Structure 1
Amino acid sequence: MYRLYADYCKSKNLTVRNEFVYRKIFVEEFNLAFYKPHLDTCGKCDKYMVKLKYADSEAIRTQIQKERDSHLDLAESSYAQKRIDKESSRNNGKTITASFDLQKCLPTPFLSSGVSFYKRQLWTYNLTIHQTGRESPLAPLCYLWNETIAARGVDEVRSKSSWKSFFYKERFDQEDFKVIDFNKKTRHTVFVDNIPPTNNEPLPVSTEKLKDLKSLMCFIDKGSRQYYAEYIKKILSNEDVIDYLPDEVESDSE
């Protein structure tokens, strides 16, 4: 943090206080510190940290540190470019900056019961798209699918043949896909249909996983089961789907 403070002062032609004064004010009085993330760390950063820890000599350690710093600088330049793009989208009204984030695998059903930790659960994936534009706020788009529909590799998220186009729907009952063509210099959205599915048939799960999933059904409360049963029924019958919380339905405990 002190290095960031010093760099900021130098960029603004301000006097840089010594590290002792900085720590006295910001660490002891304000108790400021970086949060150390425990999950979703960068694979390259983790490898560099291991190499630094077990380096045989100071020369090797110095070389590894240079490579790590270069990697961090590249990451920071990407974040800086994203901030520039987002600010540009807010100001000019002609572009939208889209950020894609694939959430970690979600075990389904999500249960607190201890037995679920020893069972094979269905993996659910969530691709979230955050949009930044002049119209604020733009709601993020979340696309959920499970492992029987498609995997989570790059080919499942986007098409090999048209990777500069994004196909999406905003509602279940929407017949055509919307397409955003990233080749265009201006905003351009068209509608298409008959997009072939990634897989013609559901992807299989193992017999053991299916058995475990069935054994976990008894831990799902009645209200949630009714909620999803009605939800799927309406989708299949092309009825209007109205969202409501599962706990609005009478549960077993009531």
Structure 2
Amino acid sequence: MQRNLKQLQIALDISFRKPELLRQAFTHSSYVNEHRLGNYQDNERLEFLGDAVLELTVSEYLFEKYPGRSEGELTKLRASIVCEPSLVSFAEQLTFGSYVLLGKGEELTGGRTRPALLADVFESFVGALYLDQGLEVVNVFLRKHLFPNLPNQGRLLTVDFKTHLQEYIQQHNMGVLEYKIVDERGPAHEREFVARVQVGEKLLGEGTGRSKKEAEQHAAARALEALNVQIQ
């Protein structure tokens, strides 16, 4: 069920000067296509902008917080924060999925909880907030709602989800893990892969990424979440 965006602004203690930007951030392409809104835009352009804003703000936060870390360590740490599983987790904590405007088909197929959609919405919101109120307000938002919820802040957050999943499956004698790339989409310079991980015929998780390896890692991360496996 789609909730009112005014509720979200109250919950986040943020008031958009241009409410249309907030609405666009939560408008999925399926809704635009179904309602034939013409010039009304979905959130894909805001997602593009939000991705860049997140890269910058997270980089600044890590640069300040870890003065002793090398460039390579900071790069890995940033990647672990802005990867799809992390963004999905942040979106879920803020219940972003309940505010998305979806087409009926996407709604019926569980789009409101689809990991790729949630990650995109989080980036779109950040892009909209940046356009509406600037970088400093984005920083305040992230320092209030994102950075305090990062796990294991005292060490690098880089996790090999595939290895953790393999170890869990072996320990519980569940069978043989198999990864499959089930879809490739987007233009050549912005290719996105969709991977599934399963044991036999049982689907454990699905993930997307800019490479096959990244998609498999994200699928493994979702599988671990579904299995309630806590990674220390």
User: Which of the five TM-score ranges fits, normalised by the shorter chain?
Assistant: under 0.3
Task: Name the structure where helix makes up a greater proportion of residues.
Answer: 2
| Greater fraction strand | 1
TM (norm. structure 1) is 0.22
Larger RCO of the pair (alpha carbons < 8 Å, separation 6+): 2
Larger radius of gyration: 1
